[in-house]
A and B are shown apart, each in its own frame.
Chain A
Amino acid sequence: MVAYWRQAGLSYIRFSTICANVVRAALKPQFKTEAIKAAEANIKVLKPKTPT
């Protein structure tokens, strides 16, 4: 039984990220800022330039 979000083209990773963002947005203000700060991603993924 395929989940609705899988049919819409989301991966489980994307689905859980969206759920986690919703939970963070629902927190009380003092916990909200800490949670949002703890969760931001600061990695950059690059493809190596293939020498053609």
Chain B
Amino acid sequence: MGLASGQVRNMATLKDITLRLKSIKNIQKITKSMKMVAASKYARAEKQLKPARVYGAGALALYEKADIKAPEDKTAKHVIIGVTSDRGLCGAIHSNVAKAIKSEIANLTSAGKEVMVINVGDKLRGLLYRTHGEHIMLNCKEVGRKPPSFGDASLIATELLNSGYEFDQGSVIFNRFRSVISYRTEHKPVFSADTVANSENMTVYDDIDADVLRNYQEFALVNIVYLALRESSTSEQSARMTSMDNASKNASEIIDKLTLTFNRTRQAVITKELIEIISGAAAL
């Protein structure tokens, strides 16, 4: 009859606990410093967000006031610009945008429309290229290291317009900053110059010719991308701040628990030695 071999867990030695305690203390120092860095970057990003919102609001005002809608067309071509960044450790920022893009692609392809995606940020590329690699048109790197500038938005818009993809409409998907603890994944519309020109409400405005409209469209595209970049960067820094704060708190909890275990183990070792000494002395 074989012995039932139960698992006997060796009580952790003092050395094991000391090692673990040291490594968790180091991790806590790192997450605390990352939180400080993210807090300072967040303060700067929030300050720069207010003027950026003016740019975006101005560009979007025409779309809202004139109520521009693309014609319901089977052959409509769509473009999706997903904006996140290159760096992780910021909570659900990247996965939220990726989820929104995936569901948007599913909706559009099931309706028979063609859609291409521009990834702003390496993390987004990593999330999308395996499953939706054939929809990716452009990738952008070096996002998130420094605060975004208008030049970045210009580059992205120029590459989109020069890529030769004749899109009719599209959307920019980004995380809009609401407050220190909350952000929301939203999308803002993007139209091509033809769509706007052929929209029914444009006849209300006079002195609009095709050239003026084309100039306005190009500039509006840059403004919308710029707004998305700024909002996304602020949301990312605030999310990184919260997640690093949580990580530091969790690390302190583990440190407290481990310190208690360490003291108990230390006392147990001392008691064991004492018992050995006493029973040894009694035997003499």
A residues bordering B, Cβ < 8 Å? 1-3, 6, 11-14, 16-17, 38-48
> Which of A6, A40, A44, A46 meets B151, CB within 8 Å?
A40
25 pairs of residues in contact across A and B, judged by CB atoms under 8 Å: A3-B211, A11-B161, A12-B218, A13-B157, A13-B158, A16-B219, A17-B151, A39-B150, A41-B149, A41-B151, A42-B146, A42-B149, A43-B140, A44-B142, A45-B138, A45-B139, A45-B156, A45-B159, A46-B139, A46-B141, A47-B137, A47-B138, A48-B133, A48-B138, A48-B139
Contact indicator B150/A42 (Cβ below 8 Å)? no
B215 is an interface residue with CB less than 8 A from chain A: yes
Q: Across the interface, which residues of B come within 8 angstroms of A47, CB to CB?
A: 137-139
Other CB < 8 Å A-B pairs besides A45-B140, A47-B137, A47-B138, 18 of them? Answer: A1-B211, A3-B215, A12-B218, A12-B219, A13-B161, A16-B219, A39-B149, A40-B151, A41-B155, A42-B145, A42-B149, A43-B141, A43-B148, A44-B142, A45-B156, A46-B138, A48-B125, A48-B138
Q: Mark B116-138, 1 if CB is under 8 A from A, else 0.
A: 00001000010001000100111
Tell me if B222 counts as interface (CB < 8 A to partner A): yes
Q: List chain B residues, Cβ under 8 A from A41.
A: 149, 151-152, 154-155
- On B, residues with C-beta under 8 Å from A are 120, 125, 129, 133, 136-143, 145-146, 148-152, 154-159, 161, 209, 211, 214-215, 218-219, 222
Q: A2-B211, A17-B154, A48-B133 are in contact. Are A43 and B218 (CB under 8 A)?
A: no
